[in-house]
Chain A
Amino acid sequence: MRLKRFFLYVGVVIMAFYCLFPIYFLVLDSFEPTSVSYSSPPILYPVAFTISNYVGVFKDINLITYIKNSTIVSLSATAMVILIGSMAAFAVSKIKFKGSMPFMNFLLILGFFPAAIMIFPLYEMFAKFHLLNNYLSLILPYTSASIPLTVWVLATYFEQIPTALYEAARVDGMSRFQAFYKIILPLGIPAVSTVAILDFIACWNEFILALTFMTKENMRTITVGISMISGRFAYQYPWGEIIAGALLVTVPLVIIIFIAQEKIISGLTAGAIKG
């Protein structure tokens, strides 16, 4: 029994190490002066400390602008997909219209197609309507791309809300829409907040569309902004600053995780196990 505990804790240490060792090296590098971080072979423990990388990243890179753009785009898309996705989820789970199962499977399968195979027609369309370098060129496709997950998670949750409540509301003379937003939606708040977090993270992390539709420096989102820094410096790759920037923009995500880990896990598993 004691041996089993021992092996268990060895396993636990390995797992923690697995998740954290790259992050350790990155944090280490971000606090090192250039002279140390460019030494070869590298020094894998702290020897010198500086915050100049963190100061430099704000000076050399439009980090604040990138964060602003990502926030605007992700929040708008999340709000929109919650609005329209909850309505569809209601129709599927409570009105249970004929063909709702094929409808759900259709959403699921189309959700599997990667953005790369639809990107050119979208690019052409946005170019035609002069929407490139406009927030809408990301908000609209992000909303659409978030539909499958949102509708699936919400429909699964709404399904568990007793239909009797909905029927009582209808018998009392509420319209379907009133029953939706006065009865079902308030009861579904836990699932709504879960899926909102997942959608927000997905939009925040999106890369290929943001890379293509936002070509002006001041319209870039955070993922593209950070990963494109390297190309702007002719002689030296400013690794310290790039990594400081990468870590800084990770902080909000880690905070979200710490606050909402139960919700995130339940949302991920609801989507996967029920699917």
Chain B
Amino acid sequence: MPSKNLIPKHERGYWRAVIGFITPVVIFFSIFQIYPLLKNVWLSFTNINGGFSLNSYHQVLTSQSFWQSTWITISFSLISVSIEMFIGFIFALLLNQEFKGRKALRTIFLIPWALPTAIMATGWKFLLQHSYGPIPWLLYWTHLTSAPPYFLSTPKLAFISIIMADAWKTVPFCALLLLAGLQAIPQDLYEAMQVDGAGWFFQLRKLTIPLMIPAIVVTLMFRFLQAFGVFDLIWVLTNGGPGNATMALSPFIYQQTFNWLDVRAGAATSVMMAIYILMIVIVVWTTRSYIGRRYAQ
């Protein structure tokens, strides 16, 4: 229940105070977030002489690499986030049980999350090395593959590599967020169901999952948008390669802007990416209130 303010809004200096409190944040945001976005919009619609032009969009939207990047970004986000939410949910269910060492395990869970992505990717680059990295050889020794696979130089396997590394880093994080949702479910609801003789799976299906929907949707949205902007992991682990097999949108923009020095194409790609993100936000926002209505008691 939002408490009502006793201090009247029309009191002298009300707006002046509000402006005083939020101005610093607004200034920072305007200069370092809003201005760059608008500047990129402007750049994308101009030619080199500053006149209006749709050339950059024509160039970007007809190039195969842009659509390939879009596809890589979407499939990377979808696959990695689904895996992470699924395993994360199982881990959260396990962590929600009583056992010795639970607190220690929760601490261990924070380590992958806190590791800088660029440094984590450096470590994975070593783990996946063909000749002396442990993972290809473990796969070979356990007879899962007929030879140690070349993870970072085969297009398909490079894509799988970034998903593996991303999953390693984020599964524990998802598990901790979902665990918080699990712990918010009142214990007596479970007791009531047990009295009625409901089994473990029935409780999961009819009580845990429906009550977890809001937490799941929020975690999903955060993770999806984060995965959508992936840069560090790809830049360090595969550098977008081999070829362009792992060139997601963020590294693609970076490549256009700083390697090819085609800032207008980079700006047009940036605008396209901003549009994608807004579309995702709108979809999640509307489905969230739909799901909220559906599960509201």
Q: Could you list which residues of chain A lie within 8 angstroms of chain B, going by C-beta atoms? A: 8-9, 11-12, 15-16, 18-20, 22-23, 25-26, 29, 37-42, 44, 83-85, 87-88, 90-92, 95-98, 103, 107, 109-110, 112-122, 124-125, 140-141, 143-145, 147, 151, 162-163, 167, 170, 176-177, 180, 201, 204-205, 207-208, 211-212, 222-224, 226-227, 230, 239, 242-243, 246, 249-250, 253-254, 256-258, 261, 264-265, 268-269, 272-273, 275
Contacts and interface: CB of A to CB of B under 8 A. Distances in A.
Interface in B71-116: 90-91, 94-95, 97, 99, 101, 105-112, 114-116
Interface centre among A38, A41, A83, A180 (most CB of B within 10 A): A41
B215 interface: yes
Contacts of B278: 109
Interface of B: 2-3, 5-7, 9, 13-15, 17-18, 20-22, 24-25, 28-29, 31-37, 39-40, 43, 90-91, 94-95, 97, 99, 101, 105-112, 114-119, 121-124, 126-127, 129, 131-134, 137-138, 148, 168, 171-173, 176-177, 180-181, 184, 214-215, 218-219, 222, 225, 228-229, 231-232, 235-236, 249-251, 253-254, 257-258, 263, 266-267, 270-271, 273-274, 277-278, 281
B231 A269 contact: no
Given A19-B109, A113-B277, A272 B119 contact: no
Interface centre among B25, B106, B109, B270 (most CB of A within 10 A): B25
Contact of A207 (B6, B105, B235): B235
Contacts of A246: 119, 122-123
B32 A23 contact: no
Nearest to B21: A91
A273 B222 CA distance: 11
Interface of A is mostly: helix
A113 B281 CA distance: 11
Interface of B is mostly: helix
Contacts of A222: 116, 119
A207 B108 contact: no
Nearest 8 pairs between A and B by C-beta? A114-B229, A118-B36, A144-B32, A269-B180, A91-B21, A116-B250, A84-B24, A121-B39
B43 to A, nearest CB: 8
Contact of B257 (A119, A230, A258): A119
Nearest to B180: A269
Contacts of B110: 257, 261, 264-265
A121 B36 contact: yes
Given A147-B29, A151-B25, A273-B181, A19 B231 contact: no
A223 B118 CA distance: 6
A211 B239 CA distance: 14
Contacts of B5: 95-96, 163, 167
A253 B114 contact: yes
B97 A204 contact: no
A42 B137 contact: yes
Contact of A140 (B17, B28, B39, B124): B28
Contacts of A40: 131-132
Contacts of A9: 99
B37 A117 contact: yes
B81 to A, nearest CB: 14
A207 B231 contact: yes
B111 A257 contact: yes
B102 to A, nearest CB: 8
Nearest to A84: B24
B279 to A, nearest CB: 12
Contact of B22 (A91, A112, A170, A261): A91
Given A95-B18, A120-B263, A261 B116 contact: no
A205 B116 contact: yes
B20 A177 contact: yes
Contacts of A87: 21-22, 24-25
A273 B216 CA distance: 9
Given A18-B171, A273-B215, A208 B232 contact: yes
B47 to A, nearest CB: 16
B231 A208 contact: yes
Given A91-B18, A120-B263, A254-B114, A114 B250 contact: yes
Given A11-B94, A91-B21, A272 B28 contact: no
A264 B2 CA distance: 27
Contacts of A29: 126
A8 B94 contact: yes
